[in-house]
Chains A and B, each alone.
Chain A
Amino acid sequence: MPYETDFTNQGFTKVGTRVNRPDGVDKVTGRAKYGADANAAGQLVGRVLRSPHAHALITKIDTSKAEKLPGVKAVLTSKDFPDLTGGNRGLMDILENCMARGRALYDGHAVAAVAAIDADTADKALKLIKVTYKLLPHVTDVDEAMKPSAPIIHDWVRTAGVTPAPTAASNVAQRSEFGHGDVEAGFEQADVIIEKSFKTEQTHQGYIEPHACLATLGPDGSGELWVTTQGHFTFRNVCASLLGLDVAKLKVTSSEIGGGFGGKTHVWTEPVALQLSRKANRPVKLVMSRDEVFRATGPTSSTSVDVKIGAKRNGKITAATAELRYQSGAFPGMWAMFGAMTSFACYDLKNVKSVGFDVLVNRPKVAAYRAPSAPMAAFAVESVVDMLAAELGMDAVDFRIKNAAKKGTKASYGPVYGPIGIGPTLDAVKNHPHMKRKLGKNQGRGVACGFWFNFGGQTCTDLNIGVDGSVNLTVGTVDVGGSRASLALIAAEELGIDYDQVRVTIGDTNSLGHNDTTEGSRGTFSSGMATIFAARNAVEVLRQRAAATWDIPVEQVVWEAGEARAKGKQNNNLPPLSLKEIAAKSPRTGGPIAGHNEVVADGAGVSFASHMCDVEVDPETGATKILRYTVVQDAGKAIHPDYVEGQFQGGAVQGIGWALNEEYIYGDDGRLQNAGFLDYRIPVCSDLPFIDTQILEIPNPNHPYGVRGVGETSIVPPLAAIGNAVSNAVGVRMTHVPMSPPRILKAIEDGQA
């Protein structure tokens, strides 16, 4: 039965409280089971041999010596992965990324794999595999890859989105354009125009838990996969397609997840582990090393962006354009498209145009990273917004408020906004005590805004009531950020029972219908919606059971405060029946009581944030210290404020690392030079101040409680907020992220010269 998804502005007794998370004890005691924590009798160790070359033909792979090594049970190359994609190039890209097919496309690309009785044997076997490479010219820089002289990564790629369709191969996989109005006319009306180019380097999500799985696949074509993932249903579907399995015969269970941030939305070694298991007919455990995680999973794009914005003296923007060039690694992506869509989403613009170019290079296939592509676009746009405000002699916050999008604004990427939070977050920034802090010598302040779409998608949820009245809620969205606590609160709210009475389980792929991956900040939004409806479905059953017990029509039974109450004078003598009482009688009143819901949760409300940041820069070393950092973001409705704040803080911290130090460093040989946490510098605790947060609640009209996704937007403003703060501190505009100490020192010196 369909339920009404509109916001109803109901009151809450449970939602909005700060209860303990149900998985907390397991996690702090080490009892929680992550990807590498599952074991099976007779399991083998899987290992992958990877290309040391950025681009090379694989002319020969001799696995004979490895196969003869005692203890080796299976050796795989691309020959063991027949093409079952039916001409689906997207699927073929996934397969080719899992195992190179005749050509290594980046440093770290898998070329062979082994399964052996132990790690030592597997490592020895890898060394016995002889791969003959013929080196090809490579390119790792996005701007270089667009030049006509650049080596072509895939000869079958023709630039999409261009008319007439090109006939020659290109590294530009796609051109995408968004906007409206007449930008040329708009710039003519401008009193001041600022135009600037920016670069951002490639970063990795940096999750602490490496990819890990335990795969079992028998000759009968049925299998099981225990894996750390953000979306076990998606993993099941993709693995089944690549390996020719029936979807229903592959049971995928998601482990606890030690961070994903988008990087665990895609398969990397899982199809390899399953195929090793099928060949060896034994379970295979495959755990990536940190080096492999950096070299061969899915970091976000490095980018190169030009932005031009013009405004009147009165502070009104008349036109804005952006050209965004994003590399997607060795396979086509749509990351520049997202950059182009999000770049001007915060503003109410009459004339706007953004063009994205998705570019192939010899680097690992780019994957989603928390609001993928938006932070780089925001860095460029919000930097130019800051420069423009300064040029106009306006306060940078007032300038943004004057141009902020609002309800009814036609977004630069197409739709017309409903109620949105960009204006309110800017007002909150303007009035925040943070903005009144006095800045000292070598200190600077920066403000920046950010936007993310959010996503809803398919969800399927079960709610089962035990005979003791305890409730098991089974959801199919992996809990990446405290969603089990939020969903238990929602179930408790709807049923009118204690939070502790609800237990939330993440169901495996054989226990629920399809659930989309936990991505697009959809976990609490979509599973929250399905939980509301599943609970309401169960309440109907509870009312029916009470009506039957009382022998009155169900219409006379209402559900209030966790109990069935009989309405009407004729029923005055009937004492209420609690959920526990109804559950206890359920074996005799019709059997177990359950609620169920499946929904395509449309209407994920867009999300906006404004960040402010104070920094101090050491002018002699270029080192930046973050002195104070504040996040203001619209959550729609904060179901569990702790985890909303945690998302705000986590996104800000990842953005701080990205802004200041994190970057993939490639040598001239096309090899990644810093595939480890020593030289890929995510921040440590002592690098950071307390990240202050302020939650705004502008209800999403398309969710019964008003929920908007909150997980991603918080990483969008930091690059720009810190960029503006550092630029203000040193008096030179910073245009290259990360703003590492050598880059800042050089910028200061170039500025003085």
Chain B
Amino acid sequence: MRKQKDKLYRTLLWGSAFLTVAILVMIVGYIFFKGYRLISFDFIFGDYSPAGGGGIWPMIITTIYTIVISLLIATPIGICAAVYMQEYAKQGRLVNLIRFATESLTGIPSIIYGLFGAVFFVTTLKLGMSIIAASLTLTIIVLPVIIRTTEESLKTVPHSYREGSLALGTTKLQTLYKVILPSAMPGILSGIILSIGRIVGESAAIFLTAGTVAAMPSSIFSSARTLTVHSFLVTQESGDIELASAVGIVLIVIILVLNLSATFISKKLNKADF
């Protein structure tokens, strides 16, 4: 009886794992199988043509714009916020409030961010449907990620570092940017990489704030579409699964490279001798 039950559970465990792997392999496999024929130099670096057969260079540029702008804003703010929480603040109501806010921001679905961005950045601040409006929305989305990872890596910097530096007569600020931040760098970097992944994968919030114009953006104030939005729209509008999958391959490769570099950095981090 007991042996039979054990056997049943064992089968279920193996079966579930097999199913998960099979489904996931199928998804990636299907996207590669459907899209690989379209991948070429011209596809990646060619300009978009509405008639079909064009490339996705404008979407790649738009995606890069959103990554760079949101990180330029979110990284310094996020690092400063984490420094405040870990190095300056006394535990208490204020810190709890900030922590609560950061955690709540993580749980808000991206469509709500999109709604907010559409009324605040696009309409109230009169930025219009634009790359900048989308990037500002994305800034709020990735801010909690950067704060959390920076805080975690600040925690791993040993106290003796701070004490040693302060004992040499440095100010708190000098200790911070000459001793603490450099030691926390790998953790901060992996937070930035995570954020890039989040921005690349985001679609609903960008859809509502950057619009859908399929052309090379002339400035950060023009409406444009990112890779994910492009993949969505060609599927929805024309059912062009092949094109959507080809864009999907580009996206998967970007995520893969990001993951590998994150693993590489965290390995370095573990090797670092604290």
Partners in one complex: no
Binding site for B on A (CB under 8 A): none
Binding site for A on B (CB under 8 A): none
